Structure 1
Amino acid sequence: MYHDLHFAFNLPMHRGSHLVDDADLRKKGVTRIYDILFAYEDVLMETDRRLRKILVRPEFQKEMGTREFYHHLGRVMNEYEEKNNLGEVSILAAAYRHGIPVFTSSPGDSTIGMNVAGLELLAEAAGLKDLFKLKINPSKDVNDSTAIILNAKRYEHGKTAVILIGGGSPKNFMLQTEPQIQEVLMIPEVGQDYDINVTDARPDTGGLSGAPPSEAASWGKIDPTKLEETVTAYLDVTVAFPLMVAYVRQTTRPKKQKRLYHRGQELHEKLMQSYLENNREVEQLKNLIKKLSAKPTGKEE
C-alpha cells in the first residue's frame, strides 16, 4: 500500500522500460519497479517525509492492526484527493470511503513498516515512548480477517469466496482464515466455498504461489466437496484482473455495500463467542495464562 500513497500525494510516476542500466539509474537518482520509474528524492523520499508526519498524528498513537491503520491512512489520502482535485486515484482512499477493511499480511515488509520502526527508534532514543505509541499487531489482523469469514458463514448463513491475484504472503493470509477457525479456534467449519486463483507460478516447485486449490483443501482452506468448482488460471495478473473487473461491471448490478470495517467490533465479539463455546482447551489455557502473573519477569537478554 506504500506505493498507493504516491498517487494521493500527486507525485510523478513514469512508465519506462525494464531494459535499463539500473546502476546508472541509481547514479542519477531514479528508482525502478519493473517498468515504472520515479525520482528517489522527489518521490520516494518525499513520500517518506509526508508519511512520517502523518504517523505522528494523535489517531495513530495506539496499538492496532493494519485494518485500523489503513482506515486512518485512507482517511488522510481521501483528504489529499479532495484537496488536490485528483479524482479517485488512491485504493486506500476508496476503501476508507466505502468502509472496506484492508489488511497487510506482513506489515514490517514495507516502507510503511520501515518508517514506523524508524519513528519507534527515535521515540526510544529521545525518551518519548510514552508519547509515540503506534504499534502494528498482526494478531489483530488474523482475528479480524477470520471474524469476517466466520460471520458470513456461521451467523449470516451465506457462502464465502477467495479471489487470489498473484501469490506470496497475502495469498496464504487470506486462505488461513479457515484453518484459524477450524484448527486453532476449534470451531466446526469446512472451508471456503469458492476459489479463483490467478497465478503464473508452478505447483511442482512447492512454493505457496503455485499451491493449487486441491492442496489448500488438504488444510481445510477450501471445502473439499467444492473442488470441482474452483478455478486456477495460469495467466499474467495484469491481463486477467482487468478482464475480470470489466466482466463484473458489465454483467452485475450494484449491490448494497457491506461496509465491513464499521462492523469490526460486532464481528470480533461473534468470533470470541464462538471460540469460547467450541474450543476444548479454553479452561486449560486460561489457567496457564493466569500462572504467568506469579512468575518473575526477567529482563530481555
Structure 2
Amino acid sequence: MSSLSAKDDCLAWAARDPSGVLSPYSFSRRSLFLFAVGSDDYADLLSTRNLHGNSKYPLVPGHEIAGIVKEVGSNVHRFKVGDHVGVGTYVNSCRSCACCNDGQEINCAKGPVFTFNSSNTDGSITQGGYSSYIVAHERYCFRIPDNYPLASAAPLLCAGITVYAPMVHHKMNQPGKSLGVIGLGGLGHMAVKFGKAFGLNVTIFSTSVSKEEEALSVLGANRFVVSSDQEQMKALAKSFDFIIDTASGDHRFGPYMSLLKTAGVLALVGFPREVKFSPASLNLGNKTISGSLVGGTKVTQEMIDFCTAHKIYPSIEVKSQFSVQMKLL
C-alpha cells in the first residue's frame, strides 16, 4: 500500500496549549488504516486543557471514532476496504499478558496505549480522531454493521462500553432486577438504555429536577429520584439489586450504599476526587463496590452487536461531519 506518512498529509484540529482551543494542524501518521466521523466529549476536554497535567502539545483529541476503511495492510484479514469500523479509547497493548490474551486489553499488564496523547511502542505520541485519517491495528478496530449509523456508533466506543462492560460483568442483565443509575449525562443515559433492553426496572438519580421529563418520557425510565431529597432516598432503602454510578462530581456514597439489597453491587465508572463511605455500609449486607474503565475488545464488539440487534442508539447532536479516512495494519 502507499506510504501516507511520507509527508504532513494528515489534516487535524489540535490544541496548542492549555486553553484547549482547537486550530488547524497538519502532521504525519505511520502507514496503516483509514476512518470517518468524530465525536467530542468530556475526556477530550480534560486533555486539551491539560487538566491532568500530562498533555503533550500539539494534541489532536478524539477517541470515539467511526468510519470507513480506505486502505489495509498486507497482513490485515478481519477487514477489507469499504467496511464500517470503529476505534475507541485505546489503539495498542502488549498483546501477550493474561488480560490481552483474554480480550481485556484495557487492563493490559504494561498499560494500554490510548488513542491520543499516549506514547506508542515506536516512541511516537498518538493523535486522535479529529483528523482527516487515522491509522490503527486491526486488533483494536471494531466491526460496525452497515445498517448502524456511523454517527451513532462513535459514542458507543467510550460512553457506551464504559457502562456496558461493568453491567454485563456484574450480571446486570437479569430481567426483573432493579437498577439505579446515578447521573443522566452521556454515560448515564446509555446505562438507562441498556438497563431497559436487559428488562430491568430502572431508576434514575439526579440532582437536576429539570431532567425528569427526559428520564421518564424520552428514555423510558421507571422512576426518577432527586438524590438531594432525603425522604425520597429513605423510601427506597434496600430496594436495588444494582447501582451504576456515572457521576464524576464529588458526592456522598453512603446514601446510595443504603439503597442496595443484600449482596447488591455498586459499580463506579465516574471519577470523583475521592470515595468515602462507612465500612459498615459495605460489610453489613455483604455488598460490593467495584470500579471499571472501559471494556476489552471482546466485550466491545459484543456491545456493538447488541445495540444493532436491539436498535439502541445514543442521543447525539451532530455539530459537523467530515470524512476521516482510516488505514488498517
Q: Same fold (TM over 0.5)?
A: no
TM range, smaller chain: 0.3 to 0.5
Give TM-score scaled by structure 2 length. Answer: 0.33
Higher strand residue share: 2
Rg comparison, structure with higher value:
1
Relative contact order, higher structure (CA 8 A, sep 6+)? 2
TM-score by length of 1: 0.35
- Structure richer in helix, relative to its length: 1
